[in-house]
Structure 1
Amino acid sequence: MKDLNHYVDIYKEQLDKGDIQEAYVGLVKYVTRLGTTLSKSLSEHYSFGSLLQGYMDYTYFYYTNDFLKKRKLKMGLVLNHSKMQFEIWLLGQTIPIQERYWEYFKSTKWNKHRTTRPQYSILETALIENPDFSDLEKLTRQIEDKLVLVTDEILKDIKQVSLTN
């Protein structure tokens, strides 16, 4: 196994080039604007939280409504940096809630390729694979349209679950 100095040297080389900083700042700014846009256009259906940046792994914000809150659930719109795709996650307020909903969702289409619960969520699904960042307005429209459709599908499935929290 390589020691930390090896990784720090590579990290510094990449930082010296400057491309990583430019890309990261651009992505975070875009997701911030996306959250603002969605909170305005979908305010009748969802309330949106602040941006969370993660550790260069995920940039995300939560969104929820009364239906989800009653069940101690929330949704996350996530930019997965390693896969460079936008995802929707269903999350529980606590691990026990996530485990209870996982029991239902593990046998649904949302988790058909999984054998274990995701680390941070009940389900994770790709929303936009290979996003095109050259036209941010178009990308925002695509994300909004798909977010509404996928979230509605997930909410429909949650309505099938009769769990008490």
Structure 2
Amino acid sequence: MENLNKYVSIYKEQLKKGDILIAYNELVKFVMKLRVDFIKRLSDEYSFAGILHGYMDYTYFYYSNDFLKSKNLKFGLVLNHLEMRFEIWLLGNTIPIQKKYWELLKTTKWNQGNTEMPKYSISETILVEDPDFNDLSTLTELIESKMSKVSDEILDYLKKID
């Protein structure tokens, strides 16, 4: 790594401008609101964990149900800041669980194009490629419908192979 002081100086300059702080805070607030909305509407299907912030690269929360818990699996609804898109991740509670389910899912549509297991998950499926943050109500509906659809598809598949 180059001189860390150089990066810190650039970081400080960008923070002083204020745009990054505003954008980051609003994005995190939106993900927090998604979680609250999903708890209200989907709590009969899933339990939801708290928000995790990552290192300015991901903001996400986990959600699961009894079936996933019995397999040591969970989903994550992820805002990928670097790609600025929403994704659903299937995760295992341990590395051996992730490797086991990677082997079972690596040739499915949820891992299309992946020749190696993702760094943090078993699969990473894009829900919304180019979100419109000027219409949060429509974006929330879109994320919820796609999240429900992909989650159901993955759950159905897992139940068939188990």
1:160 shift after superposition: 2.7
Partner of 2:43: 43
Partner of 2:124: 124
1:107 shift after superposition: 1.1
Q: Deviations over 1:7-45 (max 9, x none)?
A: 112111101101000001000111001100001101111
- Count the aligned residue pairs: 162
- Find the residue that maps to 1:82 and give its secondary structure: coil
1:111 shift after superposition: 1.1
> Matches of 1:143 and 1:41 in 2, distance apart?
13
Q: Which moved more, 1:15-24 or 1:1-10?
A: 1-10
- Find the residue that maps to 1:87 and give its secondary structure: strand
1:2 shift after superposition: 2.4
> Matches of 2:148 and 2:55 in 1, distance apart?
27
Q: Which consecutive unaligned segments of at least 5 residues does structure 1 have?
A: none
Divergent runs of 4+, >6 A: none
> Matches of 1:82 and 1:112 in 2, distance apart?
20
Partner of 2:89: 89
Question: Equivalent pairs: percent with the same residue?
Answer: 60
> Matches of 1:158 and 1:10 in 2, distance apart?
46
Q: Structure 2 length as normaliser, TM-score?
A: 0.97
Partner of 2:53: 53
> Matches of 1:3 and 1:117 in 2, distance apart?
33
Q: Is 1:143 aligned to residue 118 of structure 2? A: no
